[in-house]
Amino acid sequence: MSRHHHRRSTCRLCGGTHLTMVLGLAPTPPANAFVPAADLDKPQERFPLDLFFCHDCAHVQLLDVVDPRVLFENYVYVSGTSPVFVRHFQAYADDVIARFRVPAGSLVVDVGSNDGTLLSCFAKAGMRVQGIDPARDIAADATARGIPTIADFFTPALAAQIRTAKGAAKVVTANNVFAHVDDLTGVVDGIRAVLDDDGVFVFEVSYLVDVFEKTLFDTIYHEHLAYHSVQPLIRFLAANGMELIEALRVDSHGGSLRGVAQLQGGPHPVGQSVADAVALERRLGLDKAETFLDFARDIDERKRQLGDLLRGLKACGKRIAGFGAPAKATTLLYHFDLGPDIIDFIIDDSPLKQGLFTPGMHIPVLPGSAIAEKKPDYLVVLAWNFAQPIMEKNAGFREAGGKFIVPLPQVEVV
Ligand SMILES: [Zn+2]
């Protein structure tokens, strides 16, 4: 136990104490803690990465909580840099406005608003907007670009201030925040404090169904404390004065759940999507610990396959690099034990990451031009959920004789 981390003893959603560890991943530093060259000699603390199942409500979660200041202060992920996310957010805003007939001029509050991409889509549709994000630089940038953003953590007190200053919100959104925050009750208290009586709270989280079905185990890292499914959320929201009215599957982050909730007694009917999601989760056995123990065995089998392949290639003198340095690559590299002895460098298209080194293992992150300069024989697609577009965009690498290795959901050499 360090001063930057604690392990809770109760379920984050129901407060229950009957928790079983179902998947023990290799301990890692914070997945986004990329390191500049000047800091390479500073040790990086690693934290346990163990997944637990709650026998009382079936919520799947990490109990080890790393201090959010350690996790988020130097966050390098900026959503607006990716055109895929911009399109996703435009469709998201349009859908919410149409589905709930949100009148122009309504206040939309985004909790964890990042660079303001989602809010700019709402603003384009004539809404008033307010962002909240603890990353100071990103919040200041967003404000400078016309999306007012408070650089702070979302609390009931801050929610009350916003309501006093700007009125009640017709829409509150929170994307991934619901997976990121340890004190979810506090978040919901804040949402109730700012939400109008007929308003909706819309949240996106990576969906446990997708994590399970598509082997997205590398989306498990310390920022993601909770791996949500619908059944435990219904109970949690009801215990906190809210009602889940939609549970929609969307394809962001390899498969996510877009939940919509209203204040208890609100005007919207509960959609069929909620019952459908619960039925699907039961069919997959997500309400049983054994399901996740099997999942853990599957992941270890993938680890063995990929490790055998890469160590074999390395033994033949092949040069191997990685493609894509998303946060989840940290979990994959650590759990699959792929260090700088195997991966020489990693290509990433984000200028924010180029020139930095991966968390803990310190593999250098380079721009795409390094492929032609260093001519690796193999590129392991670490951002494997984007394997297809990455391989298309870098077709020249294959034409020059290079091969891609897609590590998941099945190990594939292309
Ligand atoms: Zn629980």
Provide block-wise average pLDDT over 10 residues at a time, the chain (414 residues). 87 97 96 93 94 98 91 60 80 96 98 93 97 91 96 95 98 91 94 98 95 92 95 98 97 87 97 98 98 96 96 96 95 96 95 94 97 96 93 94 95 94
Which residue in 75, 61, 73 sits closest to 182, CA to CA? 61
- Residue 19 CA to ligand 1 center (angstroms) comes to 8
- 163: its two tokens: 């309501």
- Residue 55 CA to ligand 1 center (angstroms) comes to 7
- Residue 256 CA to ligand 1 center (angstroms) comes to 21
- Residue 116 CA to ligand 1 center (angstroms) comes to 33
Rounded Cα distance between 149 and 141, Å, is 9
- Residue 169 CA to ligand 1 center (angstroms) comes to 30
Q: Do domains 79-287 and 306-413 have the same CATH topology?
A: yes
Query: What is the DSSP annotation of 99-155?
Result: HTTPPTT-EEEEET-TTSHHHHHHHHTT-EEEEE-S-HHHHHHHHHTT--EE-S---
- The whole-model pTM stands at 0.91
Predicted local confidence at residue 78, as pLDDT: 55
- Residue 17 CA to ligand 1 center (angstroms) comes to 8
- Residue 232 CA to ligand 1 center (angstroms) comes to 7
- Residue 59 CA to ligand 1 center (angstroms) comes to 5
Rounded Cα distance between 299 and 410, Å, is 10
- Residue 287 CA to ligand 1 center (angstroms) comes to 11
Predicted local confidence at residue 328, as pLDDT: 92
Class of domain 79-287: alpha beta
- Residue 202 CA to ligand 1 center (angstroms) comes to 22
- Residue 22 CA to ligand 1 center (angstroms) comes to 14
- Residue 53 CA to ligand 1 center (angstroms) comes to 8
- Residue 56 CA to ligand 1 center (angstroms) comes to 5
- Residue 133 CA to ligand 1 center (angstroms) comes to 28
Rounded Cα distance between 232 and 14, Å, is 8
Peptide bond into 30 cis (omega under 30): no
Class of domain 306-413: alpha beta
- Residue 181 CA to ligand 1 center (angstroms) comes to 16
- Residue 58 CA to ligand 1 center (angstroms) comes to 6
- Residue 231 CA to ligand 1 center (angstroms) comes to 11
- Residue 234 CA to ligand 1 center (angstroms) comes to 12
Is the CB of residue 244 less than 8 Å from the CB of residue 191?
Answer: no
- Residue 16 CA to ligand 1 center (angstroms) comes to 5
In sequence order, what are the beta bridge partners of 247? 259
Is the CB of residue 197 less than 8 Å from the CB of residue 163?
Answer: no
Q: Domain-by-domain residue ranges, the chain? A: 79-287, 306-413
- Residue 61 CA to ligand 1 center (angstroms) comes to 9
Which residue in 168, 240, 166, 173 sits closest to 205, CA to CA? 173
- Residue 329 CA to ligand 1 center (angstroms) comes to 29
- Residue 408 CA to ligand 1 center (angstroms) comes to 30
